[in-house]
Amino acid sequence: MATMRDVARRAGVSAKTVSRVFNRDPHVSPVTKERVETALRELSYTPTTLATTFRSGRAPVLGVAVPDIADPFFGALAKAVESLAAVQRMSVVMTSLGEDPMREPAIVQSLLRQSLSGLVIAPIAADQSYLDVWAARTQLVFVDRRAAGIVADSFTEDDHAGARAATRHLVEHGHVRIGFLGDSTAIPTSRGRLVGYRAALLDAGIEYDESLVVLGALDRASAAAAFSALERLDQPPTAIFASNARVTMSLVPVLRAHRQLAVAGFGDFPMADMLEPSVTVIDQDPTALGTLAAQRILDRMAHPQRRYRRHTVLPVQLVERASCLPGG
Amino acid sequence: MATMRDVARRAGVSAKTVSRVFNRDPHVSPVTKERVETALRELSYTPTTLATTFRSGRAPVLGVAVPDIADPFFGALAKAVESLAAVQRMSVVMTSLGEDPMREPAIVQSLLRQSLSGLVIAPIAADQSYLDVWAARTQLVFVDRRAAGIVADSFTEDDHAGARAATRHLVEHGHVRIGFLGDSTAIPTSRGRLVGYRAALLDAGIEYDESLVVLGALDRASAAAAFSALERLDQPPTAIFASNARVTMSLVPVLRAHRQLAVAGFGDFPMADMLEPSVTVIDQDPTALGTLAAQRILDRMAHPQRRYRRHTVLPVQLVERASCLPGG
DNA sequence: GGATTTGTTGACACCGGTGTCATACGGGCA
DNA sequence: TGCCCGTATGACACCGGTGTCAACAAATCC
């Protein structure tokens, strides 16, 4: 790989002049420009971003840290970030945080050591105060979940209103015994949705029954186990609110076995409309989350002094399908 | 952010000594070591990978370039690469190549300018000769599709055998008029599958009918259009082979409207087993592809002189579900 | 014609961790 | 005392693109 100094030697000029020609600096005489351009072509010069990055101390790279990059929700989010980054000729490094909250700091910090321009993070740990020292160097934007232990921008969906709307929808279809199936209330998102669920029950004058709340539904096996726990109750639920798309998807086999069961889930997923019954969901918009988060990073880089809204909560929408229709 | 020289000044030693302490070099006296460690702690020194990367000329980063990172197939592939990279304390930069083959070189080269250690690429263009000059600096491994115009490692799935098995499966269920629905034969993968489809017909003594092959099924609308073209034939197909998961998923609404239609698709997808009818597919293993590709990059970095198998074709497996059962 | 401006070009330093080599010092041995 | 060797430590350069500033020539102005 030829460097600028190689090109300079060949063209009989200084490296700086090559730099000027390469960056279309007008202060170069046509003759010199011609000579340099020939040398550039002959050596097929390709710049390394490494040197510029090192000098500026900031890589033209945005980071994306999410629980699982293979999850369609986060995949769409990452794709949106990447689209905006591409416009600014930036790259995207991504990392999956996995399941273990303890590992989050190590994983995220190894990303940050690369002097990213910005980081979009959907955290899994209960505390992000470890990010405090990095905030001065890197634009941090939280998505899906707010930051804890540190002040930072966030873009989240309206968990409370969404869960409330979904639950109300079930109530309006005549259900009184409504189960809540979730993963873990350690995650703020789930907690918010549980609160929304309770609010809807309160609205309808239905008493909250803790035994209807079952957590730990992470895959098909655990979802089935969680459901059979509900089924064994004296008054088993006739409807279920699933607190996220993964739970809903895990629950699909159960739905096929219990056709009379009504379901509404938080988070749309591929093929939800093609199942029988098609599944009523609260539609989230990962693309919007990713786009807004990336845009905020770019805005803050361009206008550091400007003031921004700290927390943005995106409205969510009920997508009514067949899974809570009477007899559905 | 404190640099090594900051720490050195505070500890009253040279930067090199700080470097030695930080890297656990045994040639440091206990007294000095203690002083330096105190200074490190007091300034909460965090190294930048930028300097080391710049000096070594190689970033501890693997690239992943795929058509669409939001596609579950490529998401799983990227996740597998990331898992292996993490073990070596490497990061992963990813990029979506999109739909336009013309843009592939520019997108990929902007990744490569970052002096990646390796690149896993599932290309969309018909020619990758532009990567020739990069191969000396960066380990290139192709996945899902082989390289064209350049010699490079590849890990692909057995398109021919998979398509042949799926088509044979349909034949065995009594179908003679079998449609082929694909995206574009410009993509080698699709071409290989079309050849496999024809081979299965030949095996069964069924004459190949070009009017049964329809391309351009990219989303639900175009898939529906493609299907209605088939439907208008004198002898419309009674079964369809869909050449990839996206096509199959786009075709699902059609299946619901035409319950007598048998389908087999190349590539599994979430919920395929929960649809009615559940969809018979050729199961690909994106995690295996990603793991093997990343492993090859790491192997080649560790043992540059060793010889490796250029092309690895992974076997695929028929997952029989309900979509080709009689009357299904 | 001398002073000032405008335009072209290059020397040099910088970013920060680290490989290379030199230096200094202490101990062992002839 | 002189020599050698091993250990501890530091000076310096390097990676490569580019910002800063100076040098110099040509053009313009009074």
**Residue range B155-168, pLDDT digits in tens:** 999 999 999 999 99
Name the pairing type of β-strands A61-66 and A91-96. parallel
The answer to whether residues A193 and A255 belong to one domain is: yes
The answer to whether residues B308 and B211 belong to one domain is: no
Residue of B nearest to A75 (CA): B70
Name the pairing type of β-strands A317-319 and A280-283. antiparallel
pLDDT tens readout for residues B129-163: 999 999 999 999 999 999 999 999 999 999 999 99
Q: Is residue A82 part of a domain?
A: yes
Q: Is residue B52 part of a domain?
A: no
The answer to whether residues A184 and A244 belong to one domain is: yes
pLDDT tens readout for residues B199-241: 999 999 999 999 999 999 989 999 999 999 999 999 999 999 9
pLDDT tens readout for residues B104-128: 999 999 999 999 999 999 999 999 9
Burial of A52-61, coded b for 16+ CB within 10 Å and e otherwise, reads ebbeeebbbb
The answer to whether residues B209 and B146 belong to one domain is: no
Residue B327 pLDDT exceeds 70: no
Segment B25-37 shows an average pLDDT of 94
The answer to whether residues A163 and A274 belong to one domain is: yes
Residue B1 pLDDT exceeds 90: no
CA distance B93 to A105: 19
The answer to whether residues A239 and A188 belong to one domain is: yes
Q: Is residue A80 part of a domain?
A: yes
Would the CB atoms of B270 and A275 count as touching at under 8 Å?
A: no
- B103 CB below 7 A from strand C atoms: no
Sign of the torsion angle spanned by Cα atoms B120, B126, B131, B135? positive
The answer to whether residues A261 and A276 belong to one domain is: yes
Count the neighbouring beta carbons within 10 Å of the beta carbon of residue B29. 9
The answer to whether residues A250 and A174 belong to one domain is: yes
CA distance B314 to B132: 25
Tell me the CATH number at A225. Answer: 3.40.50.2300
Task: Categorise residue A205: left if φ over 0, alpha if ψ from -120 to 50, beta otherwise.
Answer: left
Provide the number of CB pairs (under 8 Å) joining chain A to chain B: 144
* Residue recorded with tokens 């529906």: B224
Which pLDDT score is estimated for A218?
A: 87
Which pLDDT score is estimated for A328?
A: 40
Nucleotide nearest to A17 (CA to C1'): C9
The answer to whether residues B10 and B79 belong to one domain is: no
The answer to whether residues B116 and B193 belong to one domain is: no
Give the end-to-end CA distance of chain B in Å, rounded to a whole number.
Answer: 66
The answer to whether residues A278 and A290 belong to one domain is: no
Which pLDDT score is estimated for B326?
A: 58
Q: Is residue B134 part of a domain?
A: yes
- Nearest Cα to A164, choosing from A123, A206, A223, A215? A206
Which residue segment(s) compose the domain that B232 sits in? 159-284+317-324
Q: How far is B273 from chain A (nearest CA, A)?
A: 9
* DSSP element (H, E) containing A31: helix A30-42
Q: Is residue B3 part of a domain?
A: yes
Cβ under 8 Å to A: B residues 43-72: 44, 46-51, 53-54, 57, 59, 61, 68-72
Residue B298 pLDDT exceeds 80: yes
Would the CB atoms of B271 and A249 count as touching at under 8 Å?
A: yes
Cβ under 8 Å to B: A residues 128-157: 133, 137
Q: How many domains does chain A have?
A: 3
Q: Mean pLDDT per 10-residue run, chain A (328 residues)?
A: 94 96 94 96 96 96 96 96 96 94 95 97 95 94 96 97 98 96 84 96 96 93 95 95 94 92 95 94 97 98 94 97 70
Q: Is residue A93 part of a domain?
A: yes
Q: CB-CB: which of B48, B69, B269 is closest to A115?
A: B48
Q: How far is A205 from chain B (nearest CA, A)?
A: 36
* DSSP element (H, E) containing A230: helix A220-231
**DSSP conformation class of B211:** G
Q: Is residue A52 part of a domain?
A: no
Q: How far is B42 from chain A (nearest CA, A)?
A: 14
Which pLDDT score is estimated for B323?
A: 81
pLDDT tens readout for residues B47-59: 999 999 999 999 9
Tell me the CATH number at A35. Answer: 1.10.260.40
Would the CB atoms of A54 and B54 count as touching at under 8 Å?
A: yes
Looking at the C1' of nucleotide D9, which residue has the nearest alpha carbon? B17
Q: A269 CB near a chain B CB, below 8 Å?
A: yes
The answer to whether residues B94 and B163 belong to one domain is: no
Would the CB atoms of B50 and A54 count as touching at under 8 Å?
A: yes
Which pLDDT score is estimated for B259?
A: 87
Q: Is residue B230 part of a domain?
A: yes
